[in-house]
Amino acid sequence: MRTLLQLQYFAVIAVLFLSGCSQSLNAPVKYYQFEQSIKPMQRKSTDTAAQLRVSTVSLRGALNNRGIAMKMDNNQVNAANYHLWSEAPDQMLTASAHQTLFTELGNWMVIKGLPVITDKDQQSYYELEYELHHFNGDNQGNADISGLWRLYYTSFENGRSLKAIHYFSEVNPLIGDDYEGLVESLEQSWQNINQQVATTLSVLSHE
């Protein structure tokens, strides 16, 4: 009798396990992206005071995975299986940063990436690098973007030099208690960071 009960118990556990796996396998994959509106703008290099080149954003470890990251504790970050970014986070964040900086810095020529430009008049420029250590939600109901940015200046005469390093941390409550709310909160935090960067850059004396 005991053996029969044990077999029945394990059979129930197996059914529940297989049922859970089946539901997971049938779960629809949802894709997310930053919903940053694009404003029609144009700018000529001859009308600007400085050039800023925005490097591709660097994310540590698994944060650049398509699965949206959630921090479980101090030493564990999980990537979602069915809630994915629509593109690699580094590309999405770089495009968003470029758009915000281009909008905020009206007298700068802001360029995404590091194109080869041979015009001698454009050999002096600033270069912005982002390094993100956190880009995730957490188990306290927050969206967390933390890291640092570096600013370099390159001139034809003096070469490349490091001008500044700034650490930042944007940890804010989620706008909604789901992945959509997390994505919206991360986007707002990222815009805040880039607006702060723009404010810092706008007061620089152009060399």
- pLDDT tens-digit profile of 180-190? 999 999 999 99
Which structural domain, as residue segments, surrounds residue 52? 34-202
Does residue 67 sit within a domain?
A: yes
Question: 180 to each of 31, 119, 144, 147, 186, how far by Cα in Å?
Answer: 10, 45, 15, 23, 10
Higher pLDDT, 127 or 44: 127
Does residue 169 sit within a domain?
A: yes
Does residue 63 sit within a domain?
A: yes
Does residue 10 sit within a domain?
A: no
How much is the pLDDT for 118? 61
Of 22-36, 95-109, 188-202, give the lowest mean pLDDT range.
22-36
Rounded to the nearest 10 degrees, what angle do helices 89-104 and 179-202 cross at?
Answer: 40
Does residue 69 sit within a domain?
A: yes
How much is the pLDDT for 37? 81
Higher pLDDT, 47 or 152: 152
| Number of compact structural domains in the chain | 1
Does residue 152 sit within a domain?
A: yes
Does residue 119 sit within a domain?
A: yes
Residue 90 pLDDT > 90: yes
How much is the pLDDT for 14? 38
Mean pLDDT across the stretch 164-188?
96
Does residue 18 sit within a domain?
A: no
Residue 144: how many CA atoms within 13 Å on its side-chain side?
Answer: 17
Under 8 Å between Cβ of 195 and 100: yes
Q: What is the CATH number of the domain that holds 142?
A: 3.40.50.10610
Higher pLDDT, 25 or 159: 159
